[in-house]
């Protein structure tokens, strides 16, 4: 029986060194890189997303970056379709897709497919926003916990976007989002996957990396980048692009919504919270083979694992 072509997934939290590891692997194996990052799909958002620069991209081309304007939205369903199309083209060239990134929902969508969920209902969203304005998002989170405890348990009490969507789904359908997702049909892609995860053995060191990278972004002109984006495009804080960590905090500081002296700390805190969610996804849902991103020998260990995997395929 003919085996499916191989594909490699390399996932990890922000600042875990995924891009550097992927490029190291691309120098040694017949792979093509496919980005799994909901921020890198946006054009002109380079500094705050830690997007590889033009020289790097010329040496190590990445599929699925710079796809859309910051005025547009990109979904997990679209990612799955785009990724499977690109992976098929890579396999036809007798290369191996190496999917690298930190958007864990995209990895899950690729592997498991997506359940059919109700479309957005502006009236119900307005009701939920009014409830949040009156009582705060923790109170809305408590309401979600009453009707969908499984979803509420994995969301932070201030994760407004996801709380709103989960409660909206319940109010539209009468069913908890957790049940609808569990009932979705799993459609396995036609690939033999090796799933690898870069995880920190010590959270404090990862937090130091996050702070250093945010400072480097500010030094590279992150604030100017946000100003340029606001001048070039018609943007708002409600758009997915401006909900990316860092961008919201810079925007709010520019508009005086938060004190400018708090911008750095808030951006770093938001990035740390993102990393925490990514690690939780990996541990509880995706469960890749773990490798310590703080270990200098991790690339060699990953390389040996990939060599053995490709030899089997």
DSSP state at residue 34: E
pTM of the model: 0.83
Any idea which of 174-183, 256-265, 268-277 has the lowest mean pLDDT?
Answer: 174-183
Q: Which residues contact 69 (CB under 8 A, 6 or more apart)?
A: 42, 43, 233
Q: What is the DSSP string of 176-200?
A: -HHHHHHTSPP---SSEEEEEEEE-
What are 137-150's pLDDT values in tens digits? 999 999 999 999 99
Helix, strand, coil % in the chain, rounded to nearest 5: 55, 10, 35
Residues in the chain: 313
What are 37-65's pLDDT values in tens digits? 999 999 999 999 999 999 999 999 999 99
Instruction: Note whether 128 and 161 are within 8 A (CB).
Output: no
Phi, psi dihedral angles at 138 (to 5 degrees)? -60, -35
What are 171's two structure tokens?
């109010």
- Residue 158 has a pLDDT of 83
Positive or negative CA dihedral for 248, 269, 281, 33? Answer: positive
């Amino acid at each position: 029986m003919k085996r499916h072509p191989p594909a490699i997934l390399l996932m990890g939290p922000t600042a875990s060194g995924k891009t550097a590891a992927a490029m190291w692997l691309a120098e040694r194996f017949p792979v093509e890189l496919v980005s799994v990052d909901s921020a890198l799909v946006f054009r002109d958002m380079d500094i705050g997303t830690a997007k590889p620069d033009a020289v790097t991209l010329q040496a190590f081309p990445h599929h699925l970056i710079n796809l859309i304007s910051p005025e547009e939205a990109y979904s997990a369903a679209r990612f799955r379709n785009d990724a499977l199309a690109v992976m098929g083209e890579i396999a036809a060239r007798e290369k191996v897709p190496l999917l690298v990134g930190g958007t864990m929902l995209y990895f899950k969508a690729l592997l498991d497919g997506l359940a059919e969920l109700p479309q957005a209902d502006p009236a119900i969203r307005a009701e939920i926003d009014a409830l949040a304005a009156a009582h705060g998002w923790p109170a809305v989170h408590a309401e979600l916990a009453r009707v969908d405890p499984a979803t509420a348990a994995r969301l932070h009490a201030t994760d407004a976007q996801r709380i709103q969507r989960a409660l909206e789904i319940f109010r539209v359908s009468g069913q908890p989002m957790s049940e609808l997702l569990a009932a979705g049909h799993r459609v396995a892609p036609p690939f033999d996957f090796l799933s690898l995860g870069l995880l920190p053995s010590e959270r404090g060191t990862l937090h130091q990396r996050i702070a250093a990278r945010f400072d480097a972004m500010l030094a590279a002109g992150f604030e100017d980048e946000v100003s340029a984006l606001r001048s070039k495009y018609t943007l708002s804080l409600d758009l997915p692009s401006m909900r990316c960590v860092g961008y919201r905090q810079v925007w709010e500081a520019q508009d005086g919504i938060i004190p400018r002296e708090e911008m750095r700390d808030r951006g770093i805190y938001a990035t740390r919270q993102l990393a925490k969610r990514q690690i939780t996804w990996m541990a509880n849902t995706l469960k890749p083979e773990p490798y310590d991103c703080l270990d200098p020998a991790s690339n060699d260990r990953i390389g040996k694992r990939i060599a053995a995997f490709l030899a089997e395929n």
